[in-house]
Amino acid sequence: MKKILVPTDFSEGAFNALIHAIHAADILNNSLEIIHAYSMPATGSNVMVDITDVLKKNAEEEMEILQKRVEDLEIAKNVEINFDTAYGSVVDVINRRASEDNVSVVLMGTQGASGITEKWLGSNTAAAARNVNVPLLAIPAERPYKEMERILFSTDMKVMEDAGCMEFVAKLAKMTKSEVKFLHVRKAEEQVDEEGYKKQVEAYFDDVNPTFSFVYNENIEAGIEETIKKEDPSLLVVVRHDYGFFQSIWHSSVSRHIINNASLPILVLND
């Protein structure tokens, strides 16, 4: 069985993401693995060992509290859920678990209450979007769960997205009975093969009839944000390429702004 990996820092923002994950697991017939990653920068060897032991003990105690809270949820009774803690950075732990286990998607909350919690949820989710090797779904901390209705897929159209990306979104749309719209924002002077792209996309969506929106805007991010306000999608999909616009997003401080200030869930796929 495929599983959804849910990193947590035990905050309310992370718990909100967990609610989304439980619903997603129920719809997709996946199990859940809830994981807390803990680590400490090297100081002195003896001090390091002592602090690590304390961190491990605290993490396990917090996880027991979370497990009891989750087990009280009615929706959780339909889903197989495992709870665990692991030493290491968030990104390293996610990638290690994703390679060892049958992980279909990583689901994380963004933004925290304050201080270190905000740093953990914000910077770690942005870092995961840049570096994690499986699909990552980022959930705004105060976004309540709603059934998915509309998926907005933002593309730069420089190359056709990987087949795996298209198949993942097509399956998601089919299982949630969602509409899919592909959005391309470009500057006025840029030329793209709109009809050719449409034909390639439609080949992946047998049971869904995707629509397309081609928007002119000198500011790509502004064009995406304006479309989100107009269309009110349930989910924004972006693909992390090894070049171009999205590479610049995922490799700069802008990524943190986009992840942390998003008003809707963002699914980051790897091409």
What gap in Å lies between CA 156 and CA 135, rounded to an integer? 18
Q: Is the pLDDT of residue 131 over 70?
A: no
What gap in Å lies between CA 139 and CA 21, rounded to an integer? 10
Question: For residue range 25-68, what is the model confidence (pLDDT) as tens digits?
Answer: 999 999 999 999 998 765 555 555 568 888 999 999 999 999 99
pLDDT for 127: 61
pLDDT for 92: 86
The domains of the chain, with CATH numbers, are 3-140 (3.40.50.620), 150-265 (3.40.50.620)
Cα dihedral 160/166/170/172 (nearest 10): -140
Q: What is the pLDDT confidence band of residue 110, given thresholds at 50, 70 and 90?
A: confident
pLDDT for 80: 97
pLDDT for 90: 84
Of the segments 55-59, 67-71, 104-108, 127-131, which one has the largest average pLDDT value? 67-71
pLDDT for 252: 43
pLDDT for 109: 86
269, burial (CB in 10 Å: exposed 0-12, middle 13-18, buried 19+): buried
Q: What is the pLDDT confidence band of residue 16, given thresholds at 50, 70 and 90?
A: very high
Residue 202: both structure tokens together: 């439609």
Average pLDDT over residues 147-153: 95
Q: Is 5:18 a contact under the CB 8 Å cutoff? A: no
DSSP code of residue 78: G
Q: Is the pLDDT of residue 118 over 50?
A: no
Q: Is 128:136 a contact under the CB 8 Å cutoff? A: yes
Average pLDDT over residues 19-27: 96
Measure the CA angle with vertex 138, ends 136 and 144; round to 5°.
140
DSSP code of residue 161: P
Q: What is the pLDDT confidence band of residue 94, given thresholds at 50, 70 and 90?
A: confident
Question: Which residues, including other chains, have CB under 8 Å from residue 154's CB and lie 6 or more apart?
Answer: 183, 184, 185, 224, 236, 237, 238
Q: Which strands make up the sheet holding 81-87, listed edge to edge?
A: 81-87, 31-38, 3-7, 103-110, 136-140, 266-270, 235-240, 150-154, 179-186, 211-216
What gap in Å lies between CA 72 and CA 189, rounded to an integer? 56
pLDDT for 95: 86
Instruction: State what percent of residues in the chain have pLDDT above 90.
Output: 47
Q: Is the pLDDT of residue 226 over 70?
A: yes
Q: Is the pLDDT of residue 232 over 90?
A: yes
Q: What is the pLDDT confidence band of residue 173, given thresholds at 50, 70 and 90?
A: very high
Average pLDDT over residues 206-216: 90
